[in-house]
Structure 1
Amino acid sequence: MKPRGEVRPEDRKVFVQVMEGLLRHGVGERVTPRLRERLKMMGLDLDRPLPPAYPAIQWLHCLHIILEEVYPGVPREEGFRQLAEHHVKGYGHTLVGRAMMRLLRLLGPKRTVQQMVQALRAGDNYTEVRLKELGPGNWEMWMNSVLDAPGYAEALFVNFLKASGAAEPHAAIVRREDGGTVYLLRWKEH
């Protein structure tokens, strides 16, 4: 896989299928008038067609606003985990997401992890991923981002693994490095 090259933080973009999966399908009917107005104030008008890409910083602000509005009173990490779970389910209702979810079921957990490189790259213009197999059902994954949404990425990975048929999937941050995060992805082999 050819590296993309470094994308400056201000040039990082998240593609429409990610926003559509989250807002139209993941959060769906829980988009209240207040949430709709708060998103509009930060430049995301849900009453108009979604543009093809969004600045990554806007995406992160969206996550925080949605967390405040949809999961009030829920501890921050648990709220982000629930949001990620709904996001994966919502993404599965998009054109790209439906095809990807069918593919994950066919691939199984090991090949799903191997395909995460392409899957994560399909959602934006900047994500780089490196994988290292540590043993059966045990992988280390480095990703070139540090997300200010505790529990969110981990829950995304767990839910993708569940979609692939993985038994008892688990994802955790091992360490943060300058400009990246290392995760441990694990599941029980049959």
Structure 2
Amino acid sequence: MRCRSCWSPAASTTRRTGSAGCRAPCSGCSVELPPVTRRPRSVPPEQRQVYVQVVEGLLQHGLKGQVSPRLRERLRQAGVDLDRPLLPLYPVPLWVRCLNIVVEEVYPNLPRAEGFARLARAHVEGYGSTLLGRAVMGVMRMLGPRRMVQRLPEVLRGTDNYTEATLTERGPARYELHINSSVDTPGYVEALFEGLLAAGGAKAPRVTKVHDDGASSTYVLTWTPEP
């Protein structure tokens, strides 16, 4: 059997060794699985797509009870029909357009950044209700904040066909995360990562964008370490 703490459910081909060499060791692990080396992905912007569990997590779970007929129609016109089975993949520009539509309809009286932040928090909760999301969140809770952050590149890779993330430890409870993309959703990514940190047990998580050149972005992730 596979050890849930030693196997990344976000990427079914990534395996870790057991307690002797696992990046996230657990007690009683006796299964030894060789790691699989991944090749970096280089996907041009026009071919970038997000996976269905991302769309499902927000629109069918995170916004449950908040999708008005007007919002449903606007999403349909944009390319996401909630009255039909969701597609396996959605182009990134379409998905970003949908995020903007949701903020306009669900949080019309809030500043744009605050609307995106609230949307991100709802997205984290909704993603945790999907089949894959439940597995990912369960592993995060077991790992704790530090090891959870170390898994973030794998988790992000499991949400679309293009993301490559580089993680650098800058100090206790302080990491720098560089991503090969940038989206015009102010406050969204920061709140999304803060929600994931909180899911991993981090206290007072804070995420700040420190670089964005339109093609890539860098974030600093911090939290209050345990005494």
TM-score by length of 2: 0.82
Aligned length: 190
2:41–2:163 Cα contact (<8 Å) kept = no
Of structures 1 and 2, the larger Rg is shown by: 2
Cα displacement string for residues 116-152 of structure 1 (whole angstroms, at most 9, x for unaligned residues): 1011110100001001000110000000111100100
Among the aligned pairs, what percent are the same residue? Answer: 51
Partner of 1:100: 136
Partner of 2:7: none
Q: For 2:63, what is the secondary structure of its paired residue?
A: helix
What CA RMSD, in Å, does the superposition of the two structures yield over aligned residues?
Answer: 0.9
C-alpha distance in structure 2 between counterparts of 1:177 and 1:142, whole Å: 12
Partner of 1:18: 54
Structure number with higher helix proportion:
1
Q: For 2:75, what is the secondary structure of its paired residue?
A: helix
1:4–1:126 Cα contact (<8 Å) kept = no
Give yes or no for the alignment of 1:129 onto 2:161.
no
Give yes or no for the alignment of 1:151 onto 2:187.
yes
Give yes or no for the alignment of 1:116 onto 2:152.
yes
C-alpha distance in structure 1 between counterparts of 2:40 and 2:65, whole Å: 37
Residue of 11, 33, 36 corresponding to 2:69? 33
C-alpha distance in structure 2 between counterparts of 1:62 and 1:36, whole Å: 10
**4+ runs deviating over 4 angstroms:** none
Partner of 1:51: 87
Tell me: CA distance 1:137–1:24, structure 2 relative to 1, closer, same or farther (3 Å). Answer: same
Q: For 1:172, what is the secondary structure of its paired residue?
A: strand
Partner of 2:208: 172
Partner of 2:14: none
Q: For 2:163, what is the secondary structure of its paired residue?
A: coil
The aligned amino acid for 1:161 is L
C-alpha distance in structure 2 between counterparts of 1:51 and 1:176, whole Å: 30
Any stretches of 5+ residues in structure 2 without a counterpart?
1-36
Partner of 1:72: 108
The aligned amino acid for 1:2 is R
Cα displacement string for residues 62-87 of structure 1 (whole angstroms, at most 9, x for unaligned residues): 00000000000100000000000000
C-alpha distance in structure 2 between counterparts of 1:30 and 1:84, whole Å: 15
The aligned amino acid for 2:161 is N
Structure number with higher strand proportion:
1
Cα displacement string for residues 77-101 of structure 1 (whole angstroms, at most 9, x for unaligned residues): 0000000000000000000000111
Any stretches of 5+ residues in structure 1 without a counterpart?
none
The aligned amino acid for 1:54 is Y
